Amino acid sequence: MISLQEFIKRSPSPWHAVQTAIAVLKEHGFAHVRESEPFVSDRPIVYSRDRTQFIAYIPGTTTSAGFSSVQSHTDSPALRILQNGELKSNGSMFTVPCEPYSGPVLSRWLDRPLQLAGQISYYLNGKLGFKLVHVDKFGFIPSLAPHMLRGTDQKDWVPENGDFVVCTTGDYKDKMSISEFAKKIGEIPAEAVVTAVNLEISAFECTQFGNILQCPRLDNLASVYASIHGLVSQMKVQTPHTRMICGFNNEEVGSQTRAGAEGPFLINWWRRVSGLSEKEFSSSLARSFAASADGGHANHPIKGAGSCNDPVPVLGGGMIIKYGQKQNYAFTDHCVSVAKAICLSNNIKFQNWIGRSYKMGGGTIGNIVAAGSDMNVVDCGIPMLGMHSCVETCDLQDVEAFNNYCAGILMDSCKVLAQAHEEMME
């Protein structure tokens, strides 16, 4: 299995992340099928939707036993090139208009080398085409010197509204349309008509200090990686229940899309794979378990973590299990207990991330999946600093703990859940 750093390097956009996930799973023996084909239940399968979401599963021997799962998301906050608009020349540079996707820490995108990656869709000779592109060292966004902010109440300039442009150099022209630019970047024939442009601007540097890793997209590619790691580590073992991992798209903008966690995708997948009657289907869901895997805030050396009760999890202290009375994370006594039982029986170091009920915090796909699919769900992940920044910071020891935890969830959560339900008479 490739390292987390390599996985992130090969995943500069959600489109690339899904492509990398499929490639790694295929290397480990998964067959890639199309969603429109019949789903088989006799071998490990991976398939994708909209090229930005994927499901991979190892079928169990008894479909009525339900499924265990680790569910994460493939998208991260970034800047994206506008679908229309035009380039402008500025001396030896060209500016390309862009806009934020979700909530990036915008000041961190300034004055640093940025890459461009994503997908360009086009129509050529009566056919549609889809091209993944990745340009390393594409450009930069200059900040404003403090001299230019005198007389305003701003200390540092942060782009807003129509301010977003990325500067680049190359064989472009003043007033070149985004479609022309996309054709040039994607090496798409001039006679093609560009039908959609989805290109992200993000950082690419990965730095390691001992066990501390600073890298783009740790939220949430660290979870996507851990879920794949957990699944491929169990290829040779058979279980009665099916083991599944899923990377949804659009978590960062609310999940209400076809490839997002709020749609019927998950239930439809299980209906098709299990082939169970309506009656058996519902009881199999009651036996199924989902770990919603996403990053959580670690203790900042000066500021702590506003929305988390003390003690706030620290880097290197172990993976985290997230819950609290606010219910912004999926929280039931028995699901949190199943997660902790798996940590305890596998010697996995974990920390509790307990949200303050009176403080606004983040959210995940956890409750979206729990409320929308009837499943038993727990929220978990790795602690990180600088979440939504251009590069985020984590500890590789926590990543390793989380890799092992994902393997434990996939292998044992249905069994531990059954014991809990027995005790609860449910």
Instruction: Name the segment binding Zn ion (CB under 5 A); options: 3-11, 19-27, 141-149, 290-298.
Output: 290-298
Kindly tell me which of 59 and 295 has the beta carbon lying closer to Zn ion: 295
Kindly tell me which of 293 and 315 has the beta carbon lying closer to Zn ion: 293
The CA distance from 162 to 332, in Å, is 44
Q: Kindly write out the interface string for residues 212-231 of this chain, putting x where it contacts Zn ion by CB under 5 A and - elsewhere.
A: -------xx-----------
Contact 395, 316 (CB under 8 A): yes
The CA distance from 22 to 231, in Å, is 13
Kindly tell me which of 294 and 395 has the beta carbon lying closer to Zn ion: 294
Shortest reach from residue 409's CB to Zn ion, in Å? 18
Kindly tell me which of 55 and 387 has the beta carbon lying closer to Zn ion: 387
Kindly tell me which of 219 and 412 has the beta carbon lying closer to Zn ion: 219
Kindly tell me which of 213 and 341 has the beta carbon lying closer to Zn ion: 213
* Exposure of 366 in the CB half-sphere (CA atoms within 13 A): 25
Kindly tell me which of 219 and 400 has the beta carbon lying closer to Zn ion: 219
| Residue 160: alpha-carbon gap to chain centroid | 25
The CA distance from 399 to 211, in Å, is 10
Kindly tell me which of 133 and 221 has the beta carbon lying closer to Zn ion: 221
Instruction: Name the segment binding Zn ion (CB under 5 A); options: 166-174, 286-294, 330-338, 341-349.
Output: 286-294
Beta pairing, strands 319-323 & 376-381: antiparallel
Exposure pattern of 189-221 as b/e (b: 16+ CB <10 Å)? eeebebeebbbbbbbbebeeeeeebbbbbbbbb
Instruction: Name the segment binding Zn ion (CB under 5 A); options: 113-121, 191-199, 294-302, 369-377.
Output: 294-302
Kindly tell me which of 86 and 219 has the beta carbon lying closer to Zn ion: 219
Nearest alpha carbon to residue 326 among 284, 355, 346? 355
Shortest reach from residue 151's CB to Zn ion, in Å? 39
Kindly tell me which of 219 and 398 has the beta carbon lying closer to Zn ion: 219
Instruction: Name the segment binding Zn ion (CB under 5 A); options: 7-15, 121-129, 149-157, 291-299.
Output: 291-299
Shortest reach from residue 294's CB to Zn ion, in Å? 4
Which helix or strand (DSSP H or E) is residue 18 part of?
helix 14-27
Contact 181, 168 (CB under 8 A): no
Shortest reach from residue 219's CB to Zn ion, in Å? 4
Beta pairing, strands 31-32 & 45-49: parallel
Kindly state the number of chain residues that form the binding site for Zn ion, as judged by CB under 5 A. 3
Which one of 294, 379, 395, 400 is in contact with Zn ion (CB under 5 A)? 294
The CA distance from 200 to 115, in Å, is 8
Kindly tell me which of 165 and 330 has the beta carbon lying closer to Zn ion: 330
Looking at residue 304, the DSSP 8-state letter turns out to be B
Shortest reach from residue 241's CB to Zn ion, in Å? 27
Q: Residue 367 interacts with Zn ion (CB under 5 A)?
A: no
Exposure pattern of 261-297 as b/e (b: 16+ CB <10 Å)? bbbebbbebbeebbebeeeebeebbebbbbbbbbbbb
Shortest reach from residue 48's CB to Zn ion, in Å? 19
User: Residue 120 — φ and ψ, nearest 5°?
Assistant: -115, 130
Shortest reach from residue 373's CB to Zn ion, in Å? 19
Q: Kindly write out the interface string for residues 236-275 of this chain, putting x where it contacts Zn ion by CB under 5 A and - elsewhere.
A: ----------------------------------------
Instruction: Name the segment binding Zn ion (CB under 5 A); options: 49-57, 81-89, 289-297, 351-359.
Output: 289-297
Site for Zn ion in 157-186 (CB under 5 A): none
Shortest reach from residue 203's CB to Zn ion, in Å? 17
Shortest reach from residue 211's CB to Zn ion, in Å? 22
Shortest reach from residue 81's CB to Zn ion, in Å? 23
Shortest reach from residue 368's CB to Zn ion, in Å? 12
CA–CA distance from 310 to each of 134, 305, 313 (Å)?
A: 42, 9, 8
Which helix or strand (DSSP H or E) is residue 351 part of?
strand 350-354
The CA distance from 361 to 379, in Å, is 14
Beta-strand (E) ranges in 59-191? Answer: 67-73, 78-81, 88-90, 93-101, 114-124, 127-140, 165-168
The residues binding Zn ion (CB under 5 A) are 219-220, 294
